[in-house]
Amino acid sequence: MATLANKFPEVLPQAINAAQELGNEKKNHRMSCRRFEALAALANTFPEVLSQALDDVQTIKQEGDRSKALAFLVDKLPVELMPKALDITQSIGDSRDCSRALVALTNKLPKQLMSKALDAIQAIKDERYRSDALAALADKLPPELIAEALGITQAIEDKLYQVKAVAALADNLPKEIILKALNAAQSIRKDKDRAEALIVLADKLPMDLLKQILLSAETIEDEFYRTEVLIALSDKLPMQSMSQVFHIVQGINNEKDRTEALIALSDKLPTEAIPQSFHITMAIENEFNRSRALIALTNKLSVELLPQALNVALKIGDEEYRSKSLAALAVRLPSQLLPQALDAAQALRSERDRARALIALSDKIPNIFSQALDATQTIKNEFYRSEALVALAAQLPSELLPEALNAAQAIKNGEHKSKALAALSDSLPELLPQALNVVEGIADRVFRSRALVNLAGKLSTELMPQALNIALEVGKDDQHRALAALADKLPEELVYQALHTAQSIGGEEYQSTILLLLAADSLPRELVSQALNAAQTIKDSEHYRSWALVTLANHLPTALMPQALNAAQTIEDESARTRALAALAPHLVNHSNHFTLWKDLLHFLSYRYRHNLLSDIKALVSVLSILGEEVAIAETAQAIQDVSRWWP
């Protein structure tokens, strides 16, 4: 209906009535939503419909649904309907629902309604939702209403919600009012609420008042909430205040909270605080927290502290945390410390952790790539060995690539081997024939297919015959993926072979291959009929059949249009059928016998449920306009209206 209305404004009255009747088919929430969706869509061309839509909103008994319906329509409402929308909002008694409706309206309210909106906010009983609504409206208020808004704010007894409202108004308030809000925040007894209020204010206060928040943070007894405030301030305070912040961090007894604060502050710590921060890190007992703090400080440590930092990392008992610390330090370590770090990495018993540390060190020390590769090959777990090879692949010098390829070949697990090969292929295009041979030798068909998919985009035309043979030999369940990956690389003489094989797969897998062959424009014209036949045989999923028809639509010769329409109209799923019909519709009128095709199609569609038929007509509106021009559009709209009225 919306599509009809946009193309032919003269049928809008009929379309509106049909939309309104749609909501009356069943008195349930789903149909009500469809009614408002239809009316909102029509509103782009015929905004008068919105007045009736607002009347409908007023009749909704459930206040939550009334609020949602209003929010759904608000973006379409013209200025002249905003008073009516605001009246509906004020009729909502529930604090939360009223607040949500007001928040939805705020971006559309004209200046002359702001005072009335403040009245609506003041009437909200729950202070939390009153504060939320006021915060949403705050930056839109004209200067002459700021005092009234402030009065509403000051009437909020809960200090947390009062502070939130003041913070929203802060850009328009004098400094003394903001200072009062800060005093109110400081007087909140509950640590959690005081911290939340201070954090909200931190975004609004001028620099000189931020220091007062810092002083207030120090008085918060709960170290978790004290830490939260410090973290919020870390990006706002000037560098000269960091020493004071660091002093507060030193007083945090809880190791986890102290670690979080150190990590948040690490990038802004003044140079003179780095040594003390490092010593605090060294004193952290929990190895997980010590490792995280060390990693965060790594880029700030002076060269003189790096030997101590390496020692701290080496003393971490947990190999995972030690490995992560070594990996972080690797890029900073001077050359004289690298052998010690390499020994530590090689001494890690965990294969995964050893690989992580070695890879990080390899990036820093090109001359130890060989050692790193040797160490990677000693990793027994093939998953971790593969991951290490993947990480090393882009860094290895050309002379080590054959050895890396041999290491990949030595991996027995097909999945892990394919991952390593795919990563190495970016660096060894001249070794791609050998890599393809390795893929061919993977025993597991699933992993052989995956490896081929990973390599497909890198293969040259000369290698495509071998790649296609590999694809044809994998299991039926994975063959379609391999063929699809090769589709846009296949020379024309191989497309026939691929298509013939794909046809034997059947179902949605075949459709997947057809789509990619078409998308790559590599399907020869003479095979389009064969592709259409295959699309019709897809039974596993109507959505796959629909997408196959959509992709075929631009490739179909006129003679095949009746067959394609027949395939589309037999799709039961509404959205899938509509998608296919919409793709085929523009091509229908090019057929010499289009009137007969149209008549047969309508006859078939008429046997469906009303909502199915309406969806199909929406998809076919372009055909309507060409075949019958404005008369056909008007009569169709009238028919929709009549049927909705006669059989609601």
Q: What percent of the chain has pLDDT over 90?
A: 14
DSSP string, 292-359: HHHHHHGGG--GGGHHHHHHHHHT--SHHHHHHHHHHHHTT--GGGHHHHHHHHHT--SHHHHHHHHH
Is the pLDDT reported for residue 342 higher than 70?
yes
Is the pLDDT reported for residue 2 higher than 50?
no
Query: What CA–CA distance (Å, rounded) separates 400 from 393?
Result: 10
Is the pLDDT reported for residue 480 higher than 70?
no
pLDDT the model gives residue 289: 92
Residue with tokens 């062959």: 517
Is the pLDDT reported for residue 627 higher than 70?
no
Q: Which two tokens stand for residue 11?
A: 């049928």
Is the pLDDT reported for residue 516 higher than 60?
no
pLDDT digits (tens, 9 = 90+) for 61-120: 888 888 887 887 787 788 888 899 899 999 999 999 999 999 988 888 888 999 999 999
Q: Are 607 and 601 in contact (CB under 8 A)?
A: no
> Mean pLDDT lowest for which of 70-84, 229-243, 523-537, 549-563?
523-537
pLDDT the model gives residue 8: 43
Is the pLDDT reported for residue 569 higher than 80?
no
Q: What is the mean pLDDT of residues 224-247?
A: 83
Q: Are 132 and 102 in contact (CB under 8 A)?
A: no
What is the Cα Rg of the chain in Å?
Answer: 35
Is the pLDDT reported for residue 4 higher than 50?
no
> Mean pLDDT lowest for which of 220-234, 249-263, 268-282, 604-618?
604-618
Taking CA 188 as the corner, what is the angle to CA 186 and CA 192, rounded to the nearest 5 degrees?
105
> Mean pLDDT lowest for which of 19-28, 41-50, 93-102, 282-291?
19-28
The residue that leads in pLDDT, 559 or 508, is 559
Taking CA 490 as the corner, what is the angle to CA 488 and CA 494, rounded to the nearest 5 degrees?
145
Q: Are 450 and 471 in contact (CB under 8 A)?
A: no
Instruction: Tell me the CB-side half-sphere exposure of residue 11, using CA atoms within 13 A.
Output: 25
Q: What is the mean pLDDT of residues 428-447?
A: 81
Compute CA 189 distance to the chain's CA centroid, rounded to the nearest angstrom. 40
pLDDT the model gives residue 477: 62
pLDDT the model gives residue 602: 62
Q: What percent of the chain has pLDDT over 70?
A: 74
Q: Which two tokens stand for residue 633?
A: 């559009």
> Mean pLDDT lowest for which of 141-145, 509-513, 525-529, 535-539?
509-513
Phi and psi torsions of 77, nearest 5°? -70, 130
Contacts 24+ apart (CB under 8 A), 181-186: 182/209, 182/212, 182/213, 182/216, 184/159, 185/159, 185/216, 186/212, 186/216, 186/219
Q: What is the mean pLDDT of residues 221-244?
A: 84
Q: Which two tokens stand for residue 416?
A: 């892990």
Longest dimension (CA), the chain: 91
The amino acid that residue 220 corresponds to is I
Is the pLDDT reported for residue 324 higher than 90?
yes
pLDDT the model gives residue 57: 79
What is the band of 621 on the pLDDT scale with cuts at 50, 70, 90?
low
pLDDT the model gives residue 217: 87
DSSP summary character for residue 600: H
pLDDT the model gives residue 520: 41
Q: What is the mean pLDDT of residues 538-564?
A: 75
Burial class of 424 by CB neighbour count within 10 A (0 to 12, 13 to 18, 19+)? buried
Is the pLDDT reported for residue 60 higher than 50?
yes
Measured CA distances, 626 to 292, 535, 589 (Å): 68, 28, 8
Cα first-last separation, the chain: 17
Instruction: Tell me the CB-side half-sphere exposure of residue 329, using CA atoms within 13 A.
Output: 34
Q: Which two tokens stand for residue 192?
A: 């959690």
Is the pLDDT reported for residue 1 higher than 80?
no
Q: What is the mean pLDDT of residues 334-341?
A: 89
Q: Are 226 and 248 in contact (CB under 8 A)?
A: yes
Neighbours of 341 (CB within 10 A): 23
Is the pLDDT reported for residue 23 higher than 50?
no
Q: Where are the domains of the chain?
A: 205-300
Query: What CA–CA distance (Å, rounded) separates 402 from 388?
Result: 16
Choose among 479, 540, 145: nearest CA to 137: 145
Choose among 247, 237, 194: nearest CA to 217: 194
Neighbours of 79 (CB within 10 A): 11
> Mean pLDDT lowest for which of 303-312, 343-352, 392-401, 587-596?
587-596
Q: Are 326 and 357 in contact (CB under 8 A)?
A: yes
What is the band of 594 on the pLDDT scale with cuts at 50, 70, 90?
low
pLDDT the model gives residue 368: 72
Query: What CA–CA distance (Å, rounded) separates 252 from 247?
Result: 9
Burial class of 173 by CB neighbour count within 10 A (0 to 12, 13 to 18, 19+)? buried
pLDDT the model gives residue 22: 45
> Mean pLDDT lowest for which of 46-55, 227-236, 362-371, 563-572?
46-55
Phi and psi torsions of 537, nearest 5°? -85, -5
pLDDT the model gives residue 612: 56
pLDDT the model gives residue 313: 94
> Mean pLDDT lowest for which of 172-186, 246-260, 464-478, 485-499?
485-499
Collapsing DSSP to helix, strand or coil, 638 comes out as helix
Taking CA 156 as the corner, what is the angle to CA 151 and CA 161, rounded to the nearest 5 degrees?
115
Query: Dihedral sign, CA of 194, 196, 199, 205?
Result: negative
pLDDT the model gives residue 329: 94
pLDDT the model gives residue 375: 79
pLDDT the model gives residue 355: 78
Query: What CA–CA distance (Å, rounded) separates 482 from 471?
Result: 5
Query: What CA–CA distance (Å, rounded) separates 252 from 250?
Result: 6
